[in-house]
């Protein structure tokens, strides 16, 4: 019986993880759950899975949740301290890190220090503090399993192979909803247009990141640390069908790929059960039903955010954290109707241009850079 903490249980990854747990109650037990403001869904999750501990965003939300629950109740925590309490729960064997954004860094690091294995869905943990986090993973001798479909595909394509034989990693991207939109119309797209992803069902922030392809940029940075591969050996291919989730090319010219329908339950289950596999309820892939699979290189004029991600890796260790923080501020501003779609990448670039990159020696320094970049991005966007 594997005991789980799920950080971000009401988000799309958290919900899919609990679908897997519900289908295999003989294999998994939920120890702790964390959520932000979706108390109605969290209440249902508590009633079904009976965790010992839960955490919400604020003390006010904690009081509200307590009033909503009847009978035996879990311990109710809140804030960063609550996230850490859930991440380090003594009963947990594995922590599913599914909080969106840089907010996932501190609880994920706490889980690693507590000796918990990690199923990592939070890209920003490695984007903002890749070297420091991988050093923590090694020092504490824990396992880190990728949950993102792309990184799970790379992980599976590397199985049984020697890393010295890898020529390059190829991450695939759907191209999002604006793949074929004329460039001169991008600055006029609506919020609802940007949230209309053609293949995947995700939360709002990740869906906007997919539309700008910042999501893929974050994945390039994450792959650099997960697989100890320099950025020059990580390519991105647009693959609109989202059937091949990523590939690894070897020095002999062979390419290993992982295929499947777009459904996050498959990579989540693989992270939870590695090296085994379990039924997931995912629809089997029937290649005879496919009309064809296409691949082409991304256009950096259409997707400048992807170019900025590559630049951040070459600029210096603190720059990815700056880029990520500026992106979170800009995406939030777009979703609130404060800026246009193309202003997202422009704001990120201006924030990066304001920063002098340097080496990061601690997670506190990462948080300091993150705060500076958020304030600078808000200043540049006139949001203060």
pLDDT level of residue 186 (50, 70, 90 thresholds): very high
C-alpha gyration radius of the chain: 20
**Distance from C-alpha of 371 to C-alpha of 264, rounded to nearest angstrom:** 31
* Cα–Cα separations (whole angstroms), residue 230 to 166, 175, 223, 226: 11, 23, 9, 11
Task: Give the pairing type, strands 94-97 and 144-146.
Answer: unpaired
CA distance 195 to 203: 9
The per-residue pLDDT for range 73-86, each reduced to its tens digit, is 999 999 999 999 99
Q: How many alpha carbons fall within 13 Å on the CB side of residue 144? A: 29
Tokens encoding 106:
């501190």
How far, in Å, CA of 31 to CA of 15, rounded?
15
Per residue in 95-128, pLDDT (tens digit) is 999 998 888 999 999 999 999 999 999 988 999 9
pLDDT in tens, 301-355: 999 999 999 999 999 999 999 999 999 999 999 999 999 999 999 999 999 999 9
Cα dihedral 11, 16, 19, 25 sign = negative
Q: Whole-angstrom Cα distance, residue 364 to residue 362?
A: 5
Distances (CA, A) of 160 to 93, 171, 311: 26, 20, 32
The pLDDT tens digits of the residues spanning 348-366 come to 999 999 999 999 999 999 9
Give residue-wise pLDDT tens across range 230-286.
999 999 999 999 999 999 999 999 999 999 999 999 999 999 999 999 999 999 999
pTM of the model: 0.94
All structural domains of the chain: 2-146 (3.40.50.720), 183-191+301-384 (1.10.1740.10)
């Amino acid at each position: 019986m594997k005991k789980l903490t799920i950080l971000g249980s009401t988000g799309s990854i958290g919900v899919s993880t609990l679908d897997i747990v519900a289908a295999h109650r003989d294999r998994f037990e939920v120890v702790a759950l964390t959520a932000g403001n979706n108390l109605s869904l969290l209440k249902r999750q508590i009633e079904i899975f009976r965790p010992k501990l839960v955490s919400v965003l604020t003390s006010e939300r904690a009081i509200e949740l307590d009033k909503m629950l009847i009978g035996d109740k879990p311990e109710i925590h809140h804030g960063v301290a609550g996230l850490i309490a859930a991440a380090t729960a003594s009963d947990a064997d594995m922590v599913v890190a599914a909080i969106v954004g840089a907010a996932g860094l501190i609880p994920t690091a706490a889980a690693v220090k507590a000796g918990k294995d990690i199923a990592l869905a939070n890209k920003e943990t490695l984007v903002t503090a890749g070297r420091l986090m991988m050093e923590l993973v090694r020092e504490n001798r824990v396992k880190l399993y990728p949950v993102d479909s792309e990184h799970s595909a790379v992980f599976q394509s590397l199985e049984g192979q020697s890393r010295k034989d890898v020529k390059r990693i190829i991450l695939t991207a759907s191209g999002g909803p604006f793949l074929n939109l004329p460039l001169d119309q991008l600055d006029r797209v609506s919020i609802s247009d940007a949230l209309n992803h053609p293949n995947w069902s995700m939360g709002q922030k990740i869906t906007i990141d997919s539309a700008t392809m910042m999501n893929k940029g974050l994945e390039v940075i994450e792959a650099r640390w997960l697989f100890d591969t320099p950025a020059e050996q990580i390519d991105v291919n647009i693959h609109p069908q989202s059937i091949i989730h990523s590939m690894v090319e070897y020095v002999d010219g062979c390419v290993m790929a992982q295929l499947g329908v777009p459904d996050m339950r498959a990579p989540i289950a693989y992270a939870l059960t590695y090296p085994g596999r379990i039924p997931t309820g995912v629809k089997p892939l029937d290649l005879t039903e496919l009309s064809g699979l296409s691949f082409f290189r991304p256009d950096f004029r259409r997707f400048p955010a992807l170019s900025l991600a590559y630049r951040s890796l070459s600029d210096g260790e603190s720059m990815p954290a700056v880029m990520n923080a500026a992106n979170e501020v800009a995406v939030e501003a777009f979703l609130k109707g404060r800026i246009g779609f193309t202003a997202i990448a422009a704001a990120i670039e201006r924030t990066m241009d304001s920063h002098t990159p340097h080496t990061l020696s601690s997670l506190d320094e990462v948080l300091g850079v993150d705060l500076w970049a958020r304030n600078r991005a808000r200043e540049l966007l006139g949001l203060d």
